[in-house]
A and B are shown apart, each in its own frame.
Chain A
Amino acid sequence: DAGVIQSPRHEVTEMGQEVTLRCKPISGHDYLFWYRQTMMRGLELLIYFNNNVPIDDSGMPEDRFSAKMPNASFSTLKIQPSEPRDSAVYFCASSLAVAGEQFFGPGTRLTVL
């Protein structure tokens, strides 16, 4: 398997623009997680899905953030409008079970100017 795939790897945008991050989990994994990593706050869970259904979105910072999982092999994290404080590395991870080890994608480094 190719592992968790994320795109783009790097994104530079201007404040106010819409940003869409994409993730393809490992085939057969029922759980998908979105994390954000910053120097100040470390690695934070934003939202996770089970069988394409959002289970816990308590980590989503505000309404500007939204995540979808239209099918078992694809998820998006959208920020609209983006702000400079959204600059971070966004990781997608997947696992077979909620209690199991999570396999991380390479991350998307987002810079909002």
Chain B
Amino acid sequence: AQKITQTQPGMFVQEKEAVTLDCTYDTSDPSYGLFWYKQPSSGEMIFLIYQGSYDQQNATEGRYSLNFQKARKSANLVISASQLGDSAMYFCAMREKIGANSKLTFGKGITLSVRP
């Protein structure tokens, strides 16, 4: 089974509206972490937000929030008040322990396009 699943092939949103990017995960590690990264067309990977598996509240960072539903194993990213600069690829990633090591696994990514 895939560790991280991002099934939306491409998303479009009108400027100033909110958008949700989906992410589901699979792990047997009880102590894991979930990350979202943004990759604009320039290519760099930009950290957006983090959610720990034991965190009681959903993480928020400015216009980004993470809708963490532990029982459903989903960690959707919500971007409020979309801006043109939000157009990019978005990657969900999970950090889990595998044996003695800790590993970060990335999903395939979702392309978001913000329309003016």
Q: Which residues of A are at the interface with B, using a C-beta cutoff of 8 A?
A: 33, 42-45, 55-56, 89, 91, 93, 98-99, 101-107, 109
Contact = CB atoms under 8 A, between A and B. Distances in A.
A49 to B, nearest CB: 12
A103 B46 CA distance: 7
A47 B21 CA distance: 29
Interface of B: 33, 35, 37, 43-47, 50, 91, 95, 101-109
Contact of A99 (B102, B106, B107): B102
B47 A102 contact: yes
A53 to B, nearest CB: 12
Contacts of B91: 43
A36 to B, nearest CB: 11
Given A33-B104, A42-B108, A101 B50 contact: yes
Contacts of A104: 37, 44-47
Contact of A91 (B33, B45, B95): B45
Contacts of A106: 43-44
- Majority secondary structure, A binding face: strand
A93 B101 CA distance: 17
Nearest to B99: A56
Identify which of B44, B104, B107, B108 gathers the most chain A CB atoms within 10 Å of its CB: B104
Contacts of A93: 45
A104 B35 CA distance: 13
